[in-house]
Structure 1
Amino acid sequence: MDMVVVGQQRMLQLHELQEIHNEAYESSRIYKEKTKVFHDKHILRQSFVEGQKVLMYHSGLKLFPGKLKSRWIGLFNVTKVFPLGAVEVVSPSTGKSFKVNSQRSKPYYESMEKEQDVVIHLIDLVYVDE
């Protein structure tokens, strides 16, 4: 008799442990969903068009990159845009073409105003004491 009661208590404990496990799993799943929604909300989707100029993120490992050194390199022209976020770019200096993820690139904005040469003539002023 005593073994039957102990067996039932053990089964009850195992069921309670399984319920705790399921609750923890569900809580973890809800947390992951909320974190993903928050993360995705702050991602800026960029759309590129053919012929657009872009800069590429240089993620090479550097031991001492320097505080003010920019990690954006080159000036590349977009030759083809793929549907799932990949972009084919070509380097105008080398002519090499390669495919990259669009998250590693950002648009290059040229200045809208054309710089004009300004000539300033400096005249020496002579002061004469009278």
Structure 2
Amino acid sequence: MSSPAAPGSTDLDPAVAARLKRDPAGLVPAVVQQHDTGEVLMLGWMDDEALHRTLTTGRGTFWSRSRGEYWVKGETSGHRQHVRSVRLDCDGDTLLVAVDQEGPACHTGARTCFDRDLLLEQ
């Protein structure tokens, strides 16, 4: 299994790279939401290279922790993400990716990966 790119080993803007706080594997969680409704669609993981690819291509690109490779959302399913904006939170440890989602965002075929409510016992 491959490892994500080492921090600073890509063409990511150095000012952006300096602000990112990565986990020990070099990854940052990326919350993906529908740009016009705010609906949370999925959570993916990005390293510097995935973020650089996302910013330069306008397509949601992530690091698959299970497969050990980069993947572009919709590349095989056709359910593409057209990125409208990417924001970094105040702590620098989470990305917010606003997209125009074509079709379902979840690999199960659901619109969102967050389609199940958990009831808390009171």
Pairwise TM-score range, normalised by the shorter structure = under 0.3
Q: Which has the higher helix share?
A: 1
TM-score of the aligned structures, taking structure 2 as reference length: 0.26
Larger radius of gyration: 1
Q: Which has the higher strand share?
A: 2
